């Protein structure tokens, strides 16, 4: 296909039929109104497909309605612009904007169009390309709305281009027309040698200008390696530069040693000082001390922890025949730059972690937890950042497309808001997988079985310039110079084909070892697996490329998506390739696993990298870090003077807080029921709109054993103490799981840390405090997981969540997402959160204390009432032994069928929980909190209603079961509060005094309306 | 062949094949996952099966219109096999994306000649986006549809972005209505049975604002059937949207959606073995 190949522009728009709106245009209209308050008269969308191919006139015409336009409901054209056709557009629009991808950016619709073109015209294989773009035509744009502003809301200049026709252009019928996005030819650079025999400041410069994210110590460790005489001799023999690394070697080391891949802060030696207690101690690796050790201790006691810490996800035995695995990842930096593409890449990326576990697991459920700036944020947005509402829409859209198109249900999640996520949104994507305990050939599927001589295949997508330096980039803070090449757009369908193919190959016994190509690309995937056999030999010259001209180091570290690296025995290669051909998946031999002790990378005949496995994986020097804890001081909360109705108004305001409000508009557009396994869904209640707690799935159709999936996240508490934050996250995840009836003897957790940079430096003067927060969070994890017998089977950390833009630094609050997966013995006994019937009795299980420090109420009073109230006070404290004992009693009562509903008390406290349970029943409630006042001496109505004490679950019981329930809960804090009432009123008293009254309809309107995403209904 | 054999198509982004196979197995048939390319390359043939199921999913990412590209693969790559299958009196079902495929390739609502000419389509929901929510369906008792015999109502999830049934020739709607091809529609569960009507119900009772509330259609013979909602997702009582409110412990068992698959397997046992 040369430059002279003609380009055919196909245009498609909705046909004018009564009762058929242009829903694409109406959606944009709704988005502009909802996000920005801009009401446009009308918007029409025209889709454009540019086809670069030698089509005959007849072929070109045929493709209009055989491929691009629907013959029934769409209008298509290949000759001329639809906007010029007065039968379709009798009145000229007032503004027209066309937006399309920049050259080299993944265009999934274009790829699908090409596939469709080849279905009709197979002879064009290899000689055609398709690019897509969209044209938006506007009528009656409000005064003062600049077309440039409109365009900025409809495309992301990081990855897209736009062309604009203003009113004058429109009157002259001059429509915007983007060229075909031809990729400019890249110039391949020969492998370079990087001289490290330079002064220290130059070493730092090499690291910084090369985006290597290596510190001076690490650069010096590399320098020392190349000074080693034995190494120099070996390199001479291979024809490599003896005394200095090649660029490919340096890149490979940088990504393997990156914070993203090697978790240097968690592995560091930390000097920790506590000015409060006088503690002065040294911690040799937070990970080994507080995460690995407790889990290994638990592993000694149980027989179901099959694979922990060393694979792409942790694996637990679920029953005799099946095991489950789970992994959660973050994709924060890419999502800040390109919310849609970054988030989509996040979800399909973590799906590949599951596919790459053991010999391959099937992803069966996703979880999505996001942290954003407030959607109604009205302050200044630093240049280079998107408004939180746009980030939210983009991230949500990317995860929706990624999950839905992959056929994996999104079963659980959360959205958290805080001003400090403005700089970096957090995008946590988790996936649960299932695999048979044994394959048909007898091998245990959670163990990889590579041997030297196995052939290395790269399977799935091709390697491109997209995604170079993702791993090292995410180990740096976000700045205005952040490179667009670090962003990729996921391609769920390429991946879905690959997943289908890989799972068939697994069942046929064709896979010996498998891992995904995520951060660090081939360098990481082959480099890591090489550790299993003791070496690998990789040839970059045969790697299929998206565009010619990539340099060897670029091919080695590119993070282009949808790729797995698979080890196959030579005898199985033919069968493996046949399966790939059937599924139309590209599978290419790129090397061999060896036991040579080295990772050898070639470009054809030339060796471009030779790295001893030991140095590659163990050569990175340990960091020495300083940590110092001084508890922060906060002003106390100032409570307004108010009466019962005033309290009702405050509760209404609470229900509309973005952290509490219904996320229904957003969650509905995730498929949460594909695979026909969702037992407890994100929604419950008579109107299907009350919030579920944990998810319960029954993944083997027709069988009643289930799995429970839940999440806990409470970043607010970090403002007082990250220990409390971590403890509360774990308790919230477990509490949610208990609400649906999890089997407490088979639960496992995932710890996912997102932190601001905790290393003291000129840029981070408060590094010691941030590191102390990390130390305290880890100690909580250790204490609470041991107490709950909850091993952490997998985890992840993202340690540079700061953004510095034009001198302004924004750091996120230290945040842990704790995810939980557990067994459910019989899903028919699962319990949902909605109150069931009028007359059912309401109980609160667990102790309540005056714990309002850093509560949602505290922030609400500060932000929405007086602007000065502090957030200080007691932050919820954990008593894990007490909680667990109560959880066990409640679980047993569920097994007896005594519990009608169970709901977690968290953000907004008891009052918010009661309201949510009432939504599910379309009923009201009458409760008396006087009994819970005995739990502690200083508790008042604020604490009783809005306090966030841990370990509390609100349940309802049918009257005939109350006696049995009370007997079952004997010995645990459990108080009868009142009952479910007919009507629209929620009324809370403290003995004779009514302390809160509110109408359910106003609570419901506040709760459902706050985060409604808008759009036509 | 002494058993009813079901070819459940897979590949290219189809993603409901596991549960679709499961419901046919629960109904007593043998279900086989068949990659579309295994039919194209002749490794296996539709002739070996009594029922073809095109499951839900996102074939080719819904790009260029949901079901379009998969429809083209079948229309151009398997034209003769598919026509022979239908004309020999065998059964076909398309669910969600599978329904979109059957409509785009012209097999539904279809014609006597099985000409594979597209006469209807599935447009973007009026809401403009994908939604997963539960709906109540009502079936036409006078429909010739084999799959829906004897069923009055059913609660099932819809999970789609493009499910609004439309046509560019409104006279066809009357014809399909008379011939009983408008086999299943969205209804308001608060209304007494029968309540199906031509007037479009409010959102979200009609989740997509489909014309005449159409949720699914059959061909003139009643052997080929497709619908946007997912009956296979309600194969057991514990998968219902409100089962924790309305199913008692002792009453658990088969879900409402199974009736459709039992109808087909029973028909095949009686007529095709």
Number of Cβ within a 10 Å radius of residue A34: 17
The verdict on B118 touching A (C-beta cutoff 8 Å) is yes
With CA atoms as reference, the chain B residue closest to A49 would be B64
CB contact under 8 A, B15 and A67: no
Residues forming a β-bridge with A51: A8, A130
3-state secondary structure labels for all residues of A640-708: CCCCHHHHHHHHHHHHCCCCCCCCHHHHCCCCCCCCCCEEECCEECCCCCEECCCEEECCCCCCCCEEE
- Read off the pLDDT band of A487 (50, 70, 90): low
B chain contacts of residue A73, beta-carbon cutoff 8 Å:
121, 123, 166, 168
Number of Cβ within a 10 Å radius of residue A230: 8
The verdict on A699 touching B (C-beta cutoff 8 Å) is no
More confident residue, A652 or A465: A652
**Alpha-carbon distance A150 to A147, whole Å?**
5
Identify the pLDDT of residue A380. Answer: 84
Query: Residue written as tokens 């992994």?
Result: A327
Identify the pLDDT of residue A842. Answer: 98
Cα A847 to its chain centre, rounded Å, is 34
With CA atoms as reference, the chain B residue closest to A674 would be B16
The length of chain B in residues reads 273
Closest to B68 measured CA to CA, from B97, B107, B109, B33: B97
Read off the pLDDT of each residue in A1001-1013 and give the average, rounded to a whole number: 94
Identify the pLDDT of residue A445. Answer: 97
Tell whether omega for the bond before B16 is within 30 degrees of 0, i.e. cis: no
CB contact under 8 A, A406 and B15: yes
**Alpha-carbon distance A956 to A489, whole Å?**
46
Mean per-residue pLDDT over chain A, rounded: 93
Helix (H) or strand (E) holding B137: strand B131-139
- Is a pLDDT exceeding 50 seen at residue A136? yes
**Alpha-carbon distance B225 to B145, whole Å?**
7
pLDDT tens-digit series, residues A671-723: 999 999 999 999 999 999 999 999 999 999 999 999 999 999 999 999 999 99
Query: Residue written as tokens 């399966």?
Result: A579
CA-CA-CA-CA dihedral for A576, A578, A583, A584, to nearest 10: 110
Helix (H, G, I), strand (E, B) or coil at A751: strand
CB contact under 8 A, A19 and B211: yes
The verdict on B211 touching A (C-beta cutoff 8 Å) is yes
- Compute the nearest-CA separation of B81 from chain A (Å): 17
A-proximal residues of B, 13-72, CB under 8 Å: 13-16, 18-19, 22-23, 26, 35, 37-38, 41, 56-58, 60-65, 68-69, 72
Closest to A878 measured CA to CA, from A947, A951, A934, A938: A951
Number of Cβ within a 10 Å radius of residue A57: 10
Helix (H, G, I), strand (E, B) or coil at A586: coil
A chain contacts of residue B157, beta-carbon cutoff 8 Å:
673
The verdict on A198 touching B (C-beta cutoff 8 Å) is no
The verdict on A971 touching B (C-beta cutoff 8 Å) is no
- Compute the nearest-CA separation of A72 from chain B (Å): 6
Pick from A68, A582, A680: which is nearest to B64 by CB?
A68
Identify the pLDDT of residue A941. Answer: 95
Digitized pLDDT (tens) for each residue of chain B, 273 residues in all: 579 999 999 999 999 999 999 999 999 999 999 999 999 999 999 999 999 999 999 999 999 999 999 999 999 999 999 999 999 999 999 999 999 999 999 999 999 999 999 999 999 999 989 999 999 999 999 999 999 999 999 999 999 999 999 999 999 999 999 999 999 999 999 999 999 999 999 999 999 999 999 999 999 999 999 999 999 999 999 999 999 999 987 899 999 999 999 999 999 999 999
With CA atoms as reference, the chain B residue closest to A18 would be B168
Identify the pLDDT of residue A469. Answer: 61
**Alpha-carbon distance B215 to B207, whole Å?**
10
CA-CA-CA-CA dihedral for B139, B141, B144, B149, to nearest 10: 70
The verdict on A838 touching B (C-beta cutoff 8 Å) is no
Measured at the CA of B88, the angle between CA B86 and CA B92, to 5 degrees, comes to 35
**Alpha-carbon distance B73 to B223, whole Å?**
22
CB A47 within 8 A of CB A5: no
Identify the pLDDT of residue A1016. Answer: 43
CB contact under 8 A, B18 and A675: yes
Identify the pLDDT of residue A477. Answer: 58
pLDDT tens-digit series, residues A251-287: 889 888 887 777 899 999 999 999 999 999 999 999 9
With CA atoms as reference, the chain A residue closest to B233 would be A676
Identify the pLDDT of residue A50. Answer: 97
A chain contacts of residue B12, beta-carbon cutoff 8 Å:
493, 496-497, 584
- Compute the nearest-CA separation of A16 from chain B (Å): 9
Of the listed ranges A534-543, A690-699, A800-809, B162-171, the least confidently predicted one is A800-809
The verdict on A1016 touching B (C-beta cutoff 8 Å) is yes
**Alpha-carbon distance B98 to B62, whole Å?**
12
Helix (H) or strand (E) holding A926: strand A924-928
Tokens matching residue A502:
């890989």
Measured at the CA of A375, the angle between CA A373 and CA A380, to 5 degrees, comes to 65
The distance between the two most distant Cα atoms of chain B, rounded to a whole number of Å, is 51
CB contact under 8 A, B68 and A828: no
**Alpha-carbon distance A81 to A88, whole Å?**
11
Pick from B61, B77, B235: which is nearest to A112 by CB?
B61
The length of chain A in residues reads 1017
B chain contacts of residue A119, beta-carbon cutoff 8 Å:
69, 72-73, 76-77
Number of A/B CB contacts below 8 angstroms equals 213
The verdict on A23 touching B (C-beta cutoff 8 Å) is yes
**For testing contact with chain B, the best of A674, A680, A698 (most B CBs within 10 A):** A674
The predicted model scores a pTM of 0.96
**Alpha-carbon distance A638 to A187, whole Å?**
65
CB contact under 8 A, A683 and B241: yes
Show which residues of B are catalytic: 96, 230, 232
CB contact under 8 A, B244 and A830: yes
Read off the pLDDT of each residue in A306-320 and give the average, rounded to a whole number: 94
Tell whether omega for the bond before A474 is within 30 degrees of 0, i.e. cis: no
Pick from A116, A500, A1015: which is nearest to B72 by CB?
A116
CB A327 within 8 A of CB A314: yes
Helix (H) or strand (E) holding A840: none
**Alpha-carbon distance A368 to B77, whole Å?**
39
A chain contacts of residue B73, beta-carbon cutoff 8 Å:
119
Sheet hosting strand A426-436, strand order edge to edge:
A305-307, A314-317, A322-330, A426-436, A362-372, A410-417
- Is a pLDDT exceeding 50 seen at residue A549? yes
A chain contacts of residue B134, beta-carbon cutoff 8 Å:
688
**For testing contact with chain B, the best of A362, A676, A678 (most B CBs within 10 A):** A676
- Compute the nearest-CA separation of A432 from chain B (Å): 16
The verdict on B189 touching A (C-beta cutoff 8 Å) is no
B chain contacts of residue A66, beta-carbon cutoff 8 Å:
72
The verdict on A70 touching B (C-beta cutoff 8 Å) is yes
Measured at the CA of B171, the angle between CA B170 and CA B176, to 5 degrees, comes to 100
Number of Cβ within a 10 Å radius of residue A126: 7
Read off the pLDDT of each residue in A335-360 and give the average, rounded to a whole number: 92
**Alpha-carbon distance A60 to A79, whole Å?**
9
CB B58 within 8 A of CB A407: yes
With 0-12 / 13-18 / 19 or more C-beta atoms within 10 angstroms meaning exposed / middle / buried, residue A618 is exposed
CA dihedral over A17, A20, A24, A25, signed as positive or negative: positive
Q: Are strands A901-904 and A953-957 parallel, antiparallel or unpaired?
A: antiparallel
Tokens matching residue B58:
């996102």
Residues forming a β-bridge with A752: A796, A817
3-state secondary structure labels for all residues of A7-55: EEEEEEEECCECCECCHHHHHHHHHHHHHHCCCCCEEEEEEEEEEECCC
Alpha-carbon distances, residue B70 vs A707, A729, B230 (angstroms): 34, 45, 19
CB contact under 8 A, A109 and B63: yes
Identify the pLDDT of residue A3. Answer: 67
Tokens matching residue B59:
């074939």
The torsion angles phi and psi of A880, rounded to 5 degrees, stand at -65, -40
Tokens matching residue B101:
């495929």
CB contact under 8 A, B128 and A23: yes
CB contact under 8 A, A830 and B65: no
**Alpha-carbon distance A755 to A798, whole Å?**
6
Tokens matching residue A46:
């025209």
**For testing contact with chain A, the best of B20, B63, B79 (most A CBs within 10 A):** B63
Q: Kindly tell me the number of DSSP H helices and DSSP E strands found in chain B.
A: 8, 11
**Alpha-carbon distance A806 to A798, whole Å?**
23
Q: Are strands A953-957 and A841-845 parallel, antiparallel or unpaired?
A: antiparallel
**Alpha-carbon distance A676 to B24, whole Å?**
14
Helix (H, G, I), strand (E, B) or coil at B28: coil
Q: Buried (b) or exposed (e) across A107-122, using 16+ Cβ within 10 A?
A: bbbbbbbbbbbbbebe
CB A141 within 8 A of CB A95: yes
DSSP letter, residue A846:
S
With CA atoms as reference, the chain B residue closest to A120 would be B76
Residues forming a β-bridge with A516: A564
CB contact under 8 A, B19 and A1015: no
**Alpha-carbon distance A565 to A463, whole Å?**
13
**Alpha-carbon distance B161 to B207, whole Å?**
10
Number of Cβ within a 10 Å radius of residue A711: 26
Query: Residue written as tokens 């502009």?
Result: A32
More confident residue, A520 or A832: A832
DSSP letter, residue A305:
E
Pick from A115, A407, A582: which is nearest to B60 by CB?
A115
């Amino acid at each position: 296909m040369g430059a002279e190949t003609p380009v055919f522009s196909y245009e498609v728009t909705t046909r004018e039929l009564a009762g058929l709106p242009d829903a694409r245009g109406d959606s944009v209209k709704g988005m502009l109104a909802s996000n920005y308050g801009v009401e446009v008269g009308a918007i029409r969308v025209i889709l454009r497909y540019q086809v670069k191919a030698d089509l005959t006139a007849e072929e070109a015409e045929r493709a209009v309605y055989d491929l691009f336009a629907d013959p029934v409901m769409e209008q298509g054209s290949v000759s001329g612009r639809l906007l010029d056709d007065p039968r379709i557009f009798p009145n000229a629009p007032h503004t027209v904007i066309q937006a399309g991808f920049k050259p080299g950016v993944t265009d999934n619709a274009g790829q699908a169009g090409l596939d469709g073109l080849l279905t009709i015209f197979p002879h064009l294989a290899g000689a055609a390309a398709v690019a897509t773009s969209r044209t938006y035509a506007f009528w009656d744009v409000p005064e003062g709305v600049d077309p440039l502003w409109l365009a900025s809301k409809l495309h992301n200049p990081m990855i897209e281009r736009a062309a604009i026709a203003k009113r004058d252009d429109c009157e002259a019928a001059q429509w915007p027309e983007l060229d075909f996005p031809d990729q400019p030819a890249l110039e391949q650079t020969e492998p370079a040698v990087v001289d490290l025999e330079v002064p220290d400041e130059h070493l730092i410069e090499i690291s910084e200008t090369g985006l290597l994210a290596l510190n001076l110590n690490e650069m010096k460790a590399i320098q020392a390696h190349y000074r080693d005489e034995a190494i120099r001799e070996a390199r001479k023999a291979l024809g490599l530069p003896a005394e200095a690394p090649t660029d490919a070697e340096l890149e490979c080391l940088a990504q393997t040693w990156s914070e993203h891949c090697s978790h240097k802060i968690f592995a560091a030696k930390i000097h920790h000082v506590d000015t409060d207690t006088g503690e002065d101690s040294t911690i040799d690796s937070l990970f080994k001390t507080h995460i690995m050790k407790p889990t290994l201790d638990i592993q000694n006691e149980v027989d179901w922890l099959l694979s922990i810490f060393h694979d792409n996800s942790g694996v637990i035995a679920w029953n005799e025949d099946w095991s489950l695995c789970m992994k959660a990842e973050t994709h924060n930096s890419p999502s800040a730059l390109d919310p849609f593409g970054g988030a989509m890449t996040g979800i399909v990326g973590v799906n590949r972690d599951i596919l790459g576990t053991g010999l391959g697991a099937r992803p069966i459920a996703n979880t999505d937890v996001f942290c954003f700036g407030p959607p109604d944020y009205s302050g200044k947005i630093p240049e280079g950042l998107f408004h939180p509402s746009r980030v939210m829409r983009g991230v949500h859209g990317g995860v929706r497309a990624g999950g839905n198109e992959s056929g994996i249900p999104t079963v659980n999640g959360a959205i958290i808001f805080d001003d400090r996520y403005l700089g970096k949104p957090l995008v946590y994507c988790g996936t649960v997988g299932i695999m048979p305990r044994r394959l048909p050939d007898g091998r245990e599927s959670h163990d990889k079985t590579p041997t030297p001589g196995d052939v290395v295949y790269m399977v799935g997508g091709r390697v491109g310039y997209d995604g170079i330096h993702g791993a090292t980039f995410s180990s740096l803070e976000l700045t205005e110079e952040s490179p667009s090449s670090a962003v990729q757009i996921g391609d769920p369908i390429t991946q879905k084909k690959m997943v289908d193919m890989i799972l068939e190959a697994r069942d046929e016994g064709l896979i010996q070892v498998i891992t995904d190509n995520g951060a660090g690309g081939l360098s990481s995937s082959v480099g890591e697996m090489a550790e299993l056999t003791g070496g690998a030999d990789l040839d970059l010259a045969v790697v299929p490329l998206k565009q010619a001209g990539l340099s060897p180091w670029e091919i080695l570290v590119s993070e282009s998506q949808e790729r797995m690296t698979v080890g196959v025995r030579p005898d199985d290669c033919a069968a493996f390739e046949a399966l790939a051909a059937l599924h139309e998946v590209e599978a290419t031999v790129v090397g061999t696993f060896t036991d040579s002790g080295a990772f050898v990378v070639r470009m054809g005949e030339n060796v471009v990298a030779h790295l001893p496995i030991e140095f590659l994986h163990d050569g990175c020097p340990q960091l020495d870090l300083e940590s110092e804890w001084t508890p922060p001081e906060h002003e106390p909360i100032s409570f307004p003077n108010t009466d019962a109705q005033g309290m009702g108004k405050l509760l209404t305001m609470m229900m509309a807080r973005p952290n509490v409000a219904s996320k229904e508009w957003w969650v509905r557009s995730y498929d949460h029921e594909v695979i026909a396994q969702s037992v407890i869904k994100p929604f419950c209640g008579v109107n299907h709109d009350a919030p579920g707690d944990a998810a319960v799935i029954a993944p083997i159709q027709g069988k009643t054993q289930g799995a429970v999936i839940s999440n806990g996240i409470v970043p607010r508490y970090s403002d007082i103490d990250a220990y409390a934050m971590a403890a509360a996250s774990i308790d919230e995840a477990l509490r949610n799981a208990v609400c649906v009836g999890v089997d407490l003897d088979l639960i496992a957790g995932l710890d996912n840390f997102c932190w601001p940079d905790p290393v003291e430096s000129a840029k981070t003067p408060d590094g010691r405090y941030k590191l102390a927060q990390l130390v305290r969070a880890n100690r909580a994890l250790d204490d609470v997981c041991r107490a709950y017998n909850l091993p952490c089977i997998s985890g992840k950390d993202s340690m540079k969540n700061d953004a510095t833009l034009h001198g302004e630094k924004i750091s996120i609050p230290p945040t842990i997402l704790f995810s939980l997966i557990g067994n459910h013995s019989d899903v028919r006994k699962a319990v949902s959160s909605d109150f069931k019937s009028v007359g059912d009795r309401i109980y609160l299980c667990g102790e309540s204390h005056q714990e309002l420090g850093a509560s949602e109420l505290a922030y609400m009073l500060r932000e929405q009432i007086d602007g000065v109230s502090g957030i200080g006070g007691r932050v919820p404290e954990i008593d894990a032994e007490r909680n667990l004992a109560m959880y066990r009693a409640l679980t047993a009562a569920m097994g007896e069928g005594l519990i009608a509903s169970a709901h977690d008390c968290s953000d907004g406290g008891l009052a918010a929980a009661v309201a949510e349970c009432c939504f599910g029943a379309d009923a009201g409630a009458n409760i008396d909190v006087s009994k819970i006042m005995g739990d502690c001496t200083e508790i008042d109505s604020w604490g009783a209603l809005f306090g966030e004490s841990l370990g509390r679950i609100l349940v309802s019981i049918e009257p005939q079961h109350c006696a049995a329930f009370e007997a079952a809960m004997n010995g645990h804090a459990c108080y009868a509060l009142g009952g479910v009432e007919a009507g629209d009123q929620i009324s809370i008293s403290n003995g004779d005094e009514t302390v809160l009254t509110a109408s359910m309809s106003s609570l419901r309107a506040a709760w459902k309306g706050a985060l409604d995403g808008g759009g036509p209904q | 062949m002494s058993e009813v054999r079901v070819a459940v198509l897979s590949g290219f982004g189809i993603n409901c094949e596991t549960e679709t196979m499961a419901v046919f197995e629960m109904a007593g048939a043998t279900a086989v996952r068949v990659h579309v390319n295994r039919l194209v390359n002749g490794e296996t043939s539709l002739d070996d099966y009594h029922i073809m199921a095109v499951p839900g999913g996102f074939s080719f990412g819904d790009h260029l219109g949901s079901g379009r590209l998969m429809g083209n693969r079948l229309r151009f790559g398997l034209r003769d096999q598919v026509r022979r299958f239908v004309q020999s009196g065998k059964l076909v079902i398309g669910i969600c994306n599978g329904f979109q495929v059957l409509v785009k390739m012209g097999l539904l609502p279809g014609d006597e000649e099985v000409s594979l000419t597209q006469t209807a389509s599935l447009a973007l929901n009026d809401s403009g986006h994908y939604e997963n929510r539960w709906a109540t369906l009502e079936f036409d008792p006078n429909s010739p549809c084999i799959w829906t015999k004897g069923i009055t109502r059913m609660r099932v999830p819809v999970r789609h972005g493009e499910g609004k049934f439309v046509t560019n020739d409104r006279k066809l709607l009357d014809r399909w209505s008379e011939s009983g091809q408008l086999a299943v529609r969205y209804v308001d569960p608060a209304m007494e049975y029968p309540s199906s009507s031509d007037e479009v119900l409010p959102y979200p009772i009609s989740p997509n604002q489909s014309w005449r509330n159409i949720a699914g259609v059959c061909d003139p013979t009643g052997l080929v059937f497709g619908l946007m909602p997912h009956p296979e997702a309600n194969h057991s009582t514990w998968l219902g949207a409100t089962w924790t409110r309305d199913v008692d412990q002792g009453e658990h068992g088969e879900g409402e959606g199974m009736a459709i698959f039992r109808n087909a397997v029973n028909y095949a046992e009686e007529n095709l073995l």
